[in-house]
Amino acid sequence: MSIDADALKTELLSQIEAAPDLAALDGVRVSALGKKGRITAAMKGLGGLDPEARKATGQALNAVKDALAAAIDARKDVLETAEMNTKLEAERIDVTLPVRPEQRGKLHPISQTIDEVVAIFGAMGLSVREGPNIEDGFHNFTALNMPPEHPARQMMDTFYLKGEDGEADMDRVLRTHTSPVQIRTMQSEKPPIRIIAPGRTYRSDYDATHTPMFHQVEGLVIDKDINFGHLKGCLQEFCDAYFEVDHVPLRFRPSYFPFTEPSAEVDIGCSRKGGELKIGAGDDWLEILGSGMVHPRVLDYCGIDPEEYQGFAFGMGIERIAMLKYGIPDLRTFYEADVRWLKHYGFAPIEVASLERGLTP
Ligand code: PHE
C-alpha cells in the first residue's frame, strides 16, 4: 500500500479554499485532521510501509498537516471578516433619522405655565426658591401672623399628617399656600430679597374650581424703600408679558390676609361675550391673585427690622392663570392623567419658555 501525500494535500487544500462559511470550514477540518480524518488515517497506515518509505511519507504527511492547519487558519480569518461585514451591513442604523413623531411626549400645561412665570419674573431679577410640601405650623401659619387660635387657620381646610398617637399632628401639615417659603427665605437670607416660589399646595376641596392639590407661585420683594407702587408695577408687567397683551387692565380690590397690610386681591379685565373669554378688554373681572405689603409682624418673626425694611408679597394660582390663557374649562381635567387631554393641551418639550424667543413654543 502506498500513501500519496501530495495528492491528499492538493485535494484537502482545495476543499479548504472552497469552504463557503465557518461551519463548512470546520467540517473540512474534522474530515482532514480529526480523529477519524484523512490525515489521521494515513498516519495510521504508515505502519504497513517499509522503514524507508515510512520515514519519508511520515515527514511528508507531517508537512501536509502543518500546511493544512495554516490554510485553515487563513481561510478562517477571511470567512470571519466576511461574516462580520455582512452582520454590520444588516444591523446598520441611521443615527441621523428623526424620532418618530408619535413617540414625542408633551409638557403638561402646569409645567409650561411655571416655566413661563419663572422666565418673566426671572427677567425682572427675581430668582426661584423652594420649600417643603410637608410644613410645620410655625412656617405655614404662626410666622405668617396666624397664631394657633386664629380663625384663618380654620378657613384653610387643611390636611394634617397623623402623629405617633394616631391624632392629627399640628406640626406636619400639607402646606396650604406657598407663603411659608416667604418665611423660610427671610429666615435664611438677608435683604434685599427678590424671589418667587412656585410649587404644590393642598386644601381639602374638590369641585370644578378646586382640587385637593394645586399650584401657586409666591412672590416676595424686601428692600429698604419698597412701596405699593412697586407691587403694582411688578404685577402689571407680569400680566402684560404673561397674557401677551399690551396693557392688561388690573383692579386692586382691598382685601384681608393676616400676613399683609394693606392687602389686595387682584383682578384682570376681560370680556365674556358669546361665551368666549378674552383677556385684556371688556368690562368683566377675574380674580387671579392675593397680594399686599408684608406685615411688620411677619418681618419681626423672621428677624428683619420692620423699621428698616419693608416689602411686598403676592400669591397666584398657577392653574387659574393657565386655564385663562389656554382656555382650559375644567380644573379637574388637569389631574385625570388622560393622554388625549395632554396631547390636546400639552406643549412641545425642549423649547423652554423664554421672553426673547416667545413664551409659548
Ligand atoms: N397665601 C395667600 C393665599 O393662598 C395669597 C397671598 C400671598 C396673599 C402673599 C398675600 C400675599 O390665598
Task: Tell me how far the alpha carbon of residue 315 lies from the centroid of ligand 1, in angstroms.
Answer: 4
**What is the C-alpha separation between 77 and 141, in angstroms, rounded?**
79
Model confidence at 1, pLDDT cuts 50, 70, 90, reads low
Pairing of strands 260-271, 250-257: antiparallel
Clarify whether residues 116 and 81 are in a common domain.
Answer: no
Task: Tell me how far the alpha carbon of residue 257 lies from the centroid of ligand 1, in angstroms.
Answer: 7
Clarify whether residues 22 and 133 are in a common domain.
Answer: no
Clarify whether residues 317 and 224 are in a common domain.
Answer: yes
Atom of ligand 1 nearest to the CA of 178: 1
103 belongs to a structural domain: no
Clarify whether residues 125 and 82 are in a common domain.
Answer: no
Q: Do residues 72 and 29 make contact, with C-beta atoms less than 8 angstroms apart?
A: yes
Model confidence at 355, pLDDT cuts 50, 70, 90, reads confident
Task: Tell me how far the alpha carbon of residue 122 lies from the centroid of ligand 1, in angstroms.
Answer: 20
* Per-residue confidence (pLDDT) for residue 94, from 0 to 100: 86
Model confidence at 67, pLDDT cuts 50, 70, 90, reads very high
276 or 71: which leads in pLDDT: 71
Percent of the chain with pLDDT over 90: 69
Residues 6+ positions from 351 with CB-CB distance below 8 Å? 357, 361
Domain boundary among 62, 90, 118: 90
pLDDT of 137 strictly over 80: yes
360 belongs to a structural domain: no
Say how far residue 138 (Cα) sits from the centre of its chain: 32
In angstroms, the Cα distances linking 348 to 59, 135, 215, 236, 334 are 78, 34, 21, 28, 17
pLDDT of 154 strictly over 70: no
Clarify whether residues 145 and 60 are in a common domain.
Answer: no
Indicate the top mutation candidate among 126, 177, 181 to test ligand 1's pocket, ranked by most ligand atoms within 8 A of CB: 177
Clarify whether residues 249 and 278 are in a common domain.
Answer: yes
Work out the burial of residue 267: count CB atoms within 10 Å of its CB; fewer than 13 is exposed, 13-18 middle, 19 or more buried.
middle
In total, how many domains does the chain have? 2
Domain region containing 29: 5-90
Task: Tell me how far the alpha carbon of residue 120 lies from the centroid of ligand 1, in angstroms.
Answer: 20
Residue 333, amino acid: T
Clarify whether residues 262 and 197 are in a common domain.
Answer: yes
pLDDT of 65 strictly over 90: yes
Task: Tell me how far the alpha carbon of residue 326 lies from the centroid of ligand 1, in angstroms.
Answer: 23
Residue nearest to atom 12 of ligand 1 (CA): 290
Clarify whether residues 171 and 200 are in a common domain.
Answer: yes
* Per-residue confidence (pLDDT) for residue 282, from 0 to 100: 81
Task: Tell me how far the alpha carbon of residue 327 lies from the centroid of ligand 1, in angstroms.
Answer: 24
Residue 73, amino acid: D
Domain boundary among 41, 57, 90: 90
255 belongs to a structural domain: yes
**What is the C-alpha separation between 345 and 109, in angstroms, rounded?**
7
104 belongs to a structural domain: no
Residue nearest to atom 5 of ligand 1 (CA): 315
- The stretches of 141-179 forming alpha helices (DSSP H) are 151-155
188 belongs to a structural domain: yes
Task: Tell me how far the alpha carbon of residue 126 lies from the centroid of ligand 1, in angstroms.
Answer: 18
What are 309's three cell numbers?
425694611
Tell me the pLDDT tens digit for each residue of 217-239.
Answer: 999 999 999 999 999 999 999 99
Domain boundary among 90, 118, 144: 90
Atom of ligand 1 nearest to the CA of 177: 4
Clarify whether residues 56 and 132 are in a common domain.
Answer: no
Clarify whether residues 128 and 244 are in a common domain.
Answer: yes
Clarify whether residues 152 and 219 are in a common domain.
Answer: yes
The DSSP H or E segment spanning 287 is strand 284-294
Atom of ligand 1 nearest to the CA of 294: 11
Indicate the top mutation candidate among 205, 231, 257 to test ligand 1's pocket, ranked by most ligand atoms within 8 A of CB: 257
Tell me the pLDDT tens digit for each residue of 4-51.
Answer: 888 999 999 999 999 999 999 999 999 999 999 999 988 888 888 888
Omega cis (within 30) before 198:
no
125 belongs to a structural domain: yes
Winning range, highest mean pLDDT, from 54-63, 151-160, 257-266, 324-333? 257-266
**What is the C-alpha separation between 39 and 5, in angstroms, rounded?**
9
> Angle formed by the axes of helices 51-90 and 5-18, to 10°?
0
pLDDT of 140 strictly over 80: yes
Model confidence at 277, pLDDT cuts 50, 70, 90, reads confident
* Per-residue confidence (pLDDT) for residue 129, from 0 to 100: 98
Clarify whether residues 136 and 270 are in a common domain.
Answer: yes
* Per-residue confidence (pLDDT) for residue 244, from 0 to 100: 94
Q: What is the CATH number of the domain that holds 221?
A: 3.30.930.10
Indicate the top mutation candidate among 158, 185, 193, 259 to test ligand 1's pocket, ranked by most ligand atoms within 8 A of CB: 259
Beta bridge partners of 221: 194, 312
Residues 6+ positions from 350 with CB-CB distance below 8 Å? none
Percent of the chain with pLDDT over 70: 96
28 belongs to a structural domain: yes
Model confidence at 276, pLDDT cuts 50, 70, 90, reads confident
* Per-residue confidence (pLDDT) for residue 53, from 0 to 100: 87
